[in-house]
């Protein structure tokens, strides 16, 4: 949530609030467990409580925020068990998406991955966590979307949404960003060689490293 919001404000107040809140969560400005102070937020964004409440309901459906009776909304705080379950389900679904994408050998897939990866690497070099988070998602979903399975992609997207608040914590540390760059490059190389199984193994390692790092974050918390 920044001073330039007026220049890029979406067409409705609800969409505007949704974009700003989601950005604050995925960038780490609002951390897991943080309260959403509605009065202050409505004043800051210059909106009424109505679009704010609607945006919060949408984010609650995505798993990014949760409502606690008599206490209000908070950024969702996941346990290590929750994270492991989410990443395990992702592993199962994403494996199928990658297999289908590799089988279809969709023209332009490698170009799309290289383009997204270039954005990942620029963000890493700049230490821009928000930009790297967004570019990382574009990288992975370029691959998933090549599967041609829209329902599967939506399911994977929901799982990604539910852990967005933690992704910024992962990218905040330089070694993690460097590891992501290396692992993405390995996935592209495997796909370029037509080796879907190797790409799947690389992505399994990619997720496992994220879970291990996030376990350290949760233990420190």
* Whether the model pTM is above 0.85: no
Do 66 and 73 meet the contact criterion of CB atoms below 8 Å apart? yes
Range scoring the smallest mean pLDDT among 92-101, 145-154, 156-165? 156-165
Rounded to whole angstroms, the Cα distance separating 145 from 77 reads 29
Which regions of the chain does DSSP assign to beta strands (E)? 65-68, 72-75
The residue among 201 and 14 whose pLDDT is bigger is 201
Predicted pLDDT at 2: 53
For residue 212, pLDDT beyond 70: yes
Predicted pLDDT at 4: 47
Do 58 and 18 meet the contact criterion of CB atoms below 8 Å apart? yes
In the predicted model, what is the mean pLDDT of residues 102-127? 91
Rounded to whole angstroms, the Cα distance separating 178 from 221 reads 23
**Buried residues in 142-152 as b, exposed as e (16+ CB within 10 A):** bbbbbbebeeb
Do 18 and 56 meet the contact criterion of CB atoms below 8 Å apart? no
Please state which of the four CATH numbers 1.10.3720.10, 3.40.50.150, 1.20.1250.20, 1.10.10.10 is assigned to the domain occupying 5-75. Answer: 1.10.10.10
Do 31 and 70 meet the contact criterion of CB atoms below 8 Å apart? no
CA 191 to centroid of chain Cα atoms: 23
Rounded to whole angstroms, the Cα distance separating 177 from 170 reads 8
Do 136 and 180 meet the contact criterion of CB atoms below 8 Å apart? yes
Do 42 and 52 meet the contact criterion of CB atoms below 8 Å apart? yes
For residue 102, pLDDT beyond 80: yes
To the nearest whole percent, how much of the chain has pLDDT over 70? 94
In the predicted model, what is the mean pLDDT of residues 36-40? 92
Rounded to whole angstroms, the Cα distance separating 26 from 29 reads 8
Rounded to whole angstroms, the Cα distance separating 162 from 75 reads 10
In the predicted model, what is the mean pLDDT of residues 3-30? 76
Predicted pLDDT at 221: 61
Predicted pLDDT at 25: 86
Rounded to whole angstroms, the Cα distance separating 7 from 18 reads 16
Segments making up each domain of the chain, as ranges: 5-75, 80-220
For residue 45, pLDDT beyond 50: yes
Do 33 and 75 meet the contact criterion of CB atoms below 8 Å apart? yes
To the nearest whole percent, how much of the chain has pLDDT over 90? 61
> Which CATH number is associated with domain 80-220?
1.20.120.530
Q: What value, to the nearest 5°, has the Cα angle with vertex 2 and ends 129 and 130? A: 10
Predicted pLDDT at 10: 55
């Amino acid at each position: 949530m920044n001073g330039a919001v007026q220049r890029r404000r979406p067409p409705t107040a609800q969409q505007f609030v949704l974009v700003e809140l989601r950005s604050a969560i995925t960038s780490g400005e609002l951390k897991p467990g943080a309260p959403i102070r509605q009065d202050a937020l409505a004043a800051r964004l210059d909106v009424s409580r109505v679009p704010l409440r609607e945006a919060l309901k949408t984010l609650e459906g995505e798993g990014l925020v949760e409502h606690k009776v008599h206490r209000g909304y908070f950024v969702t705080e996941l346990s290590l068990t929750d994270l492991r379950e989410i990443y395990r389900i992702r592993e199962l679904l994403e494996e199928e998406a990658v297999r289908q994408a590799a089988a279809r050998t969709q023209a332009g897939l490698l170009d799309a991955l290289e383009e997204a990866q270039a954005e990942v690497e620029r963000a890493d070099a700049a230490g821009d966590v928000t930009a790297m988070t967004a570019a990382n998602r574009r990288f992975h979903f370029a691959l998933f979307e090549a599967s041609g399975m829209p329902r599967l992609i939506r399911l994977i997207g929901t799982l990604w949404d539910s852990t967005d608040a933690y992704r910024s914590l992962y990218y905040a540390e330089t070694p993690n960003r460097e590891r992501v760059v290396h692992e993405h490059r390995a996935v592209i190389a495997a796909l370029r060689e037509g080796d879907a199984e190797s790409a799947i193994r690389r992505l399994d390692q990619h997720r496992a490293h994220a879970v291990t790092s996030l376990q350290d974050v949760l233990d420190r918390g």
